[in-house]
């Protein structure tokens, strides 16, 4: 069967290279896209339909289209594989997704090899940051586990794959492959990472939080979750004695993440992330001395080793997976914290570049800069170099060092400008755009505009720089130029709902309300989870005097973000126009609870009270 598929172009464009995996509901292939220059590789997931009668196919088709739109939306995140295409062929359904080259995390979370608390905290924070985005899009992943996290080769970032949303398409309305029974509500997940409500087919956002907590406990204890017992009285996990050195603060956070009753957990990934970020001294006094180290190639493809590690890996129980993106493990890339160590003064032997998350995030420093920086910087200092700038640390350590002595903070000149000059165009454009974003957040609009313009000069097709330019020009009350910038962003990224929404902001600023409304409606269709576009739509509808429609749009915005004072204020204004005075007062009171100094809400509340004679 595979041989015949290799001779066939899927969707008329994808040439099968090899099969990557298969499961009860899908098969996954590595393919080449023959319609694009250089035939780049991507992943095709073929979704199986067990029963191909007309009713089942129609239902599967509707669900498939819905879930493909969700995945398209999620792929906007840089640490989630992008959905490139979805199509139906010969009554089979196919998803084409970005191919992630990297190493699965289960190659690092090894049986019998506990991680340090610092490593665990940093891992959990990175996973929860991605998951927070997923939850904001109203999506539950349902299968968080080490094999569904890939450490990407090109930048060392974690990538979250294999979304439960895809599995809803293949399982819910169809036949169970083993029993033949129809599954209306199906438990999807992996044993050990799946809480009780998910077993019952009723997953919640906190079900994902549970899985991430189990990931942390597995890393801390070195034990697969299925080997951790439950308390016979409370049904809570009895894991603490397997990691007795864990701080009480982290233990409390993990315990809350994995509570048996979902109502006792953090409700979403964002709350769990905030709890981790608020840990008292979460890195145990090693902030600035615990950093991320990137290896482009690990020993025998295994990734980095740490003092005391051996080369023999014993993995835990097999975790089956149906990947939507697949990582080859031949060349392992890892990004983990290590203690900085003084060098013995020798420059012989391997000197891996040590780069912290702050640097990797802010400057996008590629690992290939290591040798260049080593030559210039080590010759100046003669020992392991430390550069500290607002939490930024760069250091080298000898590969045979066994005793670690933390460096202390050192005051040295900024290297930001020099580093940006060394970056290749696409990474420099990213670096500049993020600098522009920070300036825009601070209200430094002229400076932000200069930075975005520089990013465009560096890489003319970098859509985020054009979007930044558009938003900044709106803030500077230059809507005509802003529209041109948003059009440029859309020319280089055809799926860019944020740019559609910003173009609507520019049209609204000019008083072109109908044109703005059309753009906001388009943004809603492209990204239904974007609360800001629903708020924009409701605000314009209210300006047009269409209060009932405005109320409906604002309710959509509030359902996605209940902490927007502007949304509650517009709701109050619409209710007031519809003479629903009590509803207006309630909405305006809510707006002022969120922001007591929000002027429009204060003014409208006074007006509503006058109308009610209060």
How many Å from the N-terminal Cα to the C-terminal Cα in the chain?
A: 77
Cβ-contact 64, 93 below 8 angstroms:
yes
Nearest to 500 by CA among 482, 523, 478: 523
DSSP 287: B
Cβ-contact 97, 43 below 8 angstroms:
yes
Nearest to 219 by CA among 102, 318, 360, 123: 123
CA angle 270, 271, 276 (to 5 degrees): 95
> Where is 14: in which H helix or E strand?
strand 14-22
Nearest to 325 by CA among 88, 75, 130, 8: 75
Cβ-contact 300, 348 below 8 angstroms:
no
Active-site annotation, residues: 143
DSSP string covering 385-412 = --EEETTEEEEE--TT--S--PPPP-B-
Q: Give the span between the Cα atoms of 612 and 614, in whole angstroms.
A: 5
DSSP string covering 361-383 = HHH---GGGHHHHHHHHHHHHSS
DSSP string covering 493-546 = -S--HHHHHHHHHHHHHTT-HHHHHHHHHHHHHH-TT-HHHHHHHHHHHHHTT-
Q: Give the span between the Cα atoms of 59 and 170, in whole angstroms.
A: 10
């Amino acid at each position: 069967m595979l041989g015949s598929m290799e001779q066939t172009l899927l969707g008329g464009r994808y040439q099968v290279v090899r099969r990557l995996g298969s499961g009860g509901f899908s098969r996954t292939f590595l393919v080449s896209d023959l319609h694009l220059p250089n035939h780049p590789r991507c992943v095709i997931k073929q979704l199986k339909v067990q029963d191909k009668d007309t009713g089942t196919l129609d239902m599967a088709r509707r669900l498939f289209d819905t879930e493909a739109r969700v995945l398209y939306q999620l792929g906007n995140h840089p640490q989630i594989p992008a959905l490139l295409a979805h199509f139906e062929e010969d009554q089979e359904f196919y998803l084409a997704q970005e191919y992630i080259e990297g190493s699965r995390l289960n190659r690092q979370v090894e049986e019998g090899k506990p991680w340090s608390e610092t490593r665990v905290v940093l891992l959990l924070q990175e996973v929860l940051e991605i998951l927070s985005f997923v939850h904001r899009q109203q999506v539950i992943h349902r299968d968080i586990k080490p094999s569904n996290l890939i450490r990407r080769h090109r930048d060392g970032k974690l990538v979250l794959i294999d979304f439960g949303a895809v599995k809803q398409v293949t399982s819910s309305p169809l036949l169970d492959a083993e029993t033949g029974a129809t599954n209306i509500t199906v438990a999807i997940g992996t044993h050990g990472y799946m809480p009780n409500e998910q077993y019952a087919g009723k997953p919640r956002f906190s079900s994902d939080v549970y899985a991430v907590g189990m990931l942390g406990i597995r890393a801390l204890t070195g034990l697969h979750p299925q080997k951790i017992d439950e308390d016979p009285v409370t049904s809570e996990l009895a894991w603490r004695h397997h990691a007795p050195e864990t701080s009480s603060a982290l233990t409390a956070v993990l315990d809350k993440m994995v509570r048996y009753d979902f109502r006792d957990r953090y409700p979403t990934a964002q709350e769990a992330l905030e709890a981790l970020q608020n840990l008292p001294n979460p890195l145990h006094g090693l902030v600035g001395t615990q950093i991320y180290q990137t290896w482009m190639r690990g020993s025998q493809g295994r990734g980095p080793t740490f003092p005391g590690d051996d080369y023999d890996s014993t993995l835990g129980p097999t975790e089956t997976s149906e990947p939507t993106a697949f990582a080859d493990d031949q060349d392992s890339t890892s990004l983990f914290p290590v203690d900085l160590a003084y060098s013995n003064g020798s420059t012989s032997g391997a000197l891996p570049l040590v780069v912290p998350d702050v640097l990797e995030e802010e400057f996008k420093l590629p690992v290939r800069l290591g040798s260049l920086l080593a030559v210039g910087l080590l010759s100046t200092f003669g020992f392991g170099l430390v550069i500290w700038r607002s939490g930024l640390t760069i250091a080298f350590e000898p590969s045979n060092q066994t005793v670690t002595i933390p460096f202390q903070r050192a005051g040295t000149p900024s290297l930001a400008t020099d580093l940006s000059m060394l970056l290749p165009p696409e990474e420099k454009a990213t670096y500049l755009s993020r600098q522009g974003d920070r300036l825009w957040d601070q209200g430094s609009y002229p400076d932000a505009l200069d930075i975005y313009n520089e990013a465009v000069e560096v890489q003319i097709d970098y859509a985020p720089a054009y979007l930044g330019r558009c938003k900044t020009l709106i803030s500077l009350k230059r809507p005509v130029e802003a529209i041109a910038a948003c059009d440029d962003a859309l020319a280089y990224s055809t799926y860019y709902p944020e740019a559609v929404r910003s173009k609507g902001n520019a049209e609204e600023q000019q008083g072109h309300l109908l044109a703005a409304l059309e753009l906001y409606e388009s943004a809603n269709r492209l990204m239904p989870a974007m609360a800001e576009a629903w708020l924009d739509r409701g605000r314009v509808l209210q300006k047009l005097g269409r209060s009932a429609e405005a109320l409906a749009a604002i309710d959509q915005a509030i359902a996605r973000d209940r902490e927007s004072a502007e949304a509650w204020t517009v709701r109050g204004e619409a209710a007031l126009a519809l003479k629903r005075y009590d509803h207006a007062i309630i909405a305006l009171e809510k707006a002022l609870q969120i922001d007591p100094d929000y002027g429009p809400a204060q003014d409208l509340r006074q007006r509503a009270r006058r109308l009610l004679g209060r």
